[in-house]
Chain A
């Protein structure tokens, strides 16, 4: 079955540590996205990529970094500069850049601070 796989499901970060969240899709989608979800909030866009080797900052990119070396992979690194990283992180993809195309989501990674 095609879909989006996020790993790990749960992740713990120590102070001053960088951690990387994995996102892989086998849907052959061009565009990929990272969102952050906090309790009682909607999702906020961190970064997105419309094509391999290209990505753009979203609304809350500070303290995060991404890469897009392969079409199917879009890992997110939460750096030590992100002072409040505890959240639920969701990766999504869509077939192309068209505005009427829905985004498909993975099951998320929950990040906590030790």
Chain B
């Protein structure tokens, strides 16, 4: 079945450091890819998405590029802030023609930014 693998955390960085969170996927077709962020005690918020190969999703300084050749969707940010501390989830969604199922999630990466 479909699956998503993320780098394990926690990832601890200093403020203004460069961030990369790796995400790779396994899917039978060509999924849409998403990054969600979860702050403590809250639901998930969509951070960015990409729906086809070579698409780049971006939002709030975060970027991720859909790489079909490496089946990857790594999340990057050039300069992190303390407010970026959260859990980040990579997810995929397939569309089979008969309707889309739910999202398939990675286990999440806990990011801690120290001042």
Contacts and interface: CB of A to CB of B under 8 A. Distances in A.
A111 interface: no
Interface residues of A, number: 30
Given A50-B99, A102-B49, A108 B42 contact: yes
Interface in A85-114: 90, 92, 94, 97-108
Nearest to A51: B99
Contact of A105 (B44, B93, B94, B99): B44
B18 interface: no
Interface of A: 4, 6, 31, 33, 35, 40-45, 48, 50, 56, 58, 90, 92, 94, 97-108
Given A42-B107, A43-B44, A97-B100, 16 more contacts: A4-B43, A6-B43, A31-B100, A41-B108, A45-B101, A45-B103, A94-B100, A99-B31, A99-B93, A99-B94, A100-B93, A100-B95, A102-B46, A102-B49, A105-B45, A108-B42
